[in-house]
Amino acid sequence: MDRRTFVKKLGLGTVASAAVAGTLAKADSGSAAATAPEPFEIVVVGGGFGGASVAKYIALWGGAAVKVTLVDSNAAHVSCILSNLVLNNQKTLANLTFPLVKAAEKYQFAFKQGAVAGMGAELNGSRFIALADGSKIYFDKLVLSPGIDFDFPRGMVQNGWTDTNTPFPHAWKAGLQTNNLRDQLKMLPGGGKARVVMTIPPKPYRCPPGPYERACLIADYLKNKKGGGKLFVLDANPAIQAEPVNFGKAFSGLYKGIIEYQPNAAVNAVSAAAAFNPRLALPQDKTINVSYTGALPANPIGSGQKFHLINVIPKQKAADLLFGTDFRHLLGGKAWAGVHIDTYQSLYDNDVYVIGDAHDSVQPKAGHIANSEAKVCADALLRHLQLRPARVMPDEAPVTNSACFSPITASTASFLTAGYRYNPALDTMEKIAAASGEAEQINSDNYKMMLAWANNLFAEVF
């Protein structure tokens, strides 16, 4: 934004610049130019946990001084949170689908459906994002919360395979692939004959406990619905990445004989003889090529072994949007967008902010904390526009928090929580050890709390 527009938007043309921040955007009745200043135009891309939350709080705290537009390629966001419960039929996608028009009405911002394809500037300096249909939306400040995309192993994606018929649904973005994976699970053979593989990507990836939670739910399903079976959990990491005590207990206790956990296992390739066809029996036709980078496990998987179901959760990176020509500079050569971690302002572009899974930090890539980051970002962005007073340290050191509830069976759960605080000396968000930990027990109270938490979080965001 050039300085002239900035001054115009603040209504400062003839007003002394010493006007108190916070009242700036209101018309100054004492000045000659008593017309209300134009509101700042804020565009948010991505209506998931980060984006819908930041749109809400910029609109709420910015009031009449801002005009907020949320853009998402889809009319509704499907929550990944609780989506593993679709696999064992405790939830449906419909329960987890949130129309963004409704969120926009409720929290007073505008919603525009469209896939963002580019970003540019007019000769006068006005900046815009471009949608796939060629239309432009102008912004003074842009917040991106586009989530993740994947680096697929060889053979996982093929022409003609769709979300509904791919034999390899990752289901790591909730949607049709989640139903596909549910249906494949349902069609596994009974009598303890099912042979299943799940793979966990190298960190960082979306939802650190998520893959272990999924392993538990698949094992629970095998145990109770399929007379047992075998689930190989291949982890690219050297050890369980979250809630190691509770997941460790579940793997070696509750699911002993079903789950075989193999760390240091990287997937190179997968293959299937055909697309998934829900009208035919689930064939035992899938193979996987694995490299073990540590000690060989007791039963290493060779390329000759065949499985009914292979659920690869692929390696992750910031959403494809950020790898596009107009946005790539925000990555600074990395797989995630670099930001000033106390504000989420891009390291490479002062008018752009990146929150949620797509940004680079020690905070987990998770929905609850994406909402937490959104509040810190909304506050900082409004300060940058001089709509709120400048931040004073340590009074306003950003604090964020995370909570993930993990179902372990169809009626019990564990949890993981963490707190992070900005350390100005190190310019980083630091994990607060005293505020972080996993549940002391796996129990049904946690399961109930999980549903209560998710309902409040969903209503807070959407």
Ligand X SMILES: Cc1cc2nc3c(=O)[nH]c(=O)nc-3n(C[C@H](O)[C@H](O)[C@H](O)COP(=O)(O)OP(=O)(O)OC[C@H]3O[C@@H](n4cnc5c(N)ncnc54)[C@H](O)[C@@H]3O)c2cc1C
Residue 339 Cβ, how far from other proteins at the closest point, in Å?
Answer: 18
Segments in 139-285 forming alpha helices (H): 176-186, 210-225, 244-249
Peptide bond into 146 cis (omega under 30): no
Query: Which segment (67-75, 111-119, 215-223, 447-455) binds other proteins by CB under 8 A?
Result: 447-455
Residue where the block lists tokens 């939830």: 91
Per-residue x/- marks for ligand X, 115-134, CB under 6 A?
Answer: xx------------------
Residue 9 or 365 with smaller CB distance to ligand X: 365
Number of residues that bind ligand X (CB under 6 A): 37
Beta carbons within 8 Å of 152's beta carbon, 6+ residues apart:
312, 314
Alpha-carbon gap, residue 25 to 10, rounded angstroms: 5
Residue 83 binds ligand X, judged by CB under 6 A = yes
**Residue bearing tokens 């064939």:** 283
Query: Does 375 sit near other proteins (CB under 8 A)?
Result: yes
Among 287, 400, 406, 409, binds other proteins (CB under 8 A): 400
Interacting positions 80-99 with other proteins (CB under 8 A): none
CA gap 139, 142 in Å, rounded:
6
Among positions 19, 27, 335, 399, the unique one binding other proteins when judged by CB under 8 A = 399
Least Å distance, CB 449 to other proteins, is: 7
11, 37, 46, 398: which one contacts ligand X (CB under 6 A)? 46
Contact 357, 50 (CB under 8 A): yes
Residue 254: count of CB within 10 angstroms of its CB:
17
Judged by CB under 8 A, the stretch of 89-97, 127-135, 314-322, 367-375 that binds other proteins is 367-375
Amino acid at 378: A
DSSP secondary structure string for all residues of 394-437: TTT--EEEEEEEEESSSS-EEEEEEEEEEETTTTEEEEEEEEEE
Tell me the per-residue interface mask from 42 to 61 with other proteins, x by CB under 8 A, - otherwise.
---------------x---x
Contact 222, 258 (CB under 8 A): yes
Residues 6+ apart with CB under 8 A from 357: 50, 147, 148, 206, 318, 319, 365, 366, 370
> Taking phi first (over 0 means left), then psi (-120 to 50 degrees means alpha), and beta for anything else, what does residue 260 get?
beta
Q: Which does 90 bind (CB under 5 to 8 A by kind): ligand X, other proteins, none?
A: none
Q: How far apart are CA 367 and CA 173, in angstroms?
A: 12
Q: Taking CB under 8 A as the rule, does residue 245 contact other proteins?
A: no
Q: Which of the 8 DSSP states describes residue 103? A: H
Here's the x/- map for ligand X, 177-216, by CB under 6 A: it reads as -----------------------------xx--x------
Where is 68: in which H helix or E strand?
Answer: strand 66-72
Rounded to a whole number of angstroms, the minimum distance from the CB of residue 296 to ligand X is 30
Q: Which member of 292, 396, 410, 428 binds other proteins (CB under 8 A)?
A: 396
Q: Which of 42, 65, 82, 457 binds other proteins (CB under 8 A)?
A: 457
Site for other proteins in 279-308 (CB under 8 A): none
Does 453 interact with other proteins (rule: CB under 8 A)?
Answer: yes
Minimum Å gap between C-beta 435 and other proteins is 4
User: Quick check: 365 binds ligand X (CB under 6 A)?
Assistant: yes
372 touches other proteins (CB under 8 A)? yes
Residue 210 backbone dihedrals phi, psi, to 5 degrees: -55, -45
Min CB(253)–ligand X separation in Å: 22
DSSP 304-322: T--BSEEEE--EEEE-GGG
Residue 68 contacts by C-beta under 8 Å, 6 or more apart in sequence? 42, 43, 44, 55, 58, 59, 62, 109, 110
Q: Which of 148, 360, 368, 386 touches other proteins by CB under 8 A?
A: 368
Q: List residues near ligand X by CB under 6 A.
A: 45-51, 71-74, 77, 80-81, 83-84, 115-116, 145-147, 172, 206-207, 210, 319, 321, 356-358, 365-368, 370, 404-405
Q: List residues near other proteins by CB under 8 A.
A: 57, 61, 368, 371-372, 375-376, 379, 392, 394-396, 399-401, 403, 415, 417, 419-421, 432, 434-437, 439-440, 448-449, 451-453, 455-457, 459-460
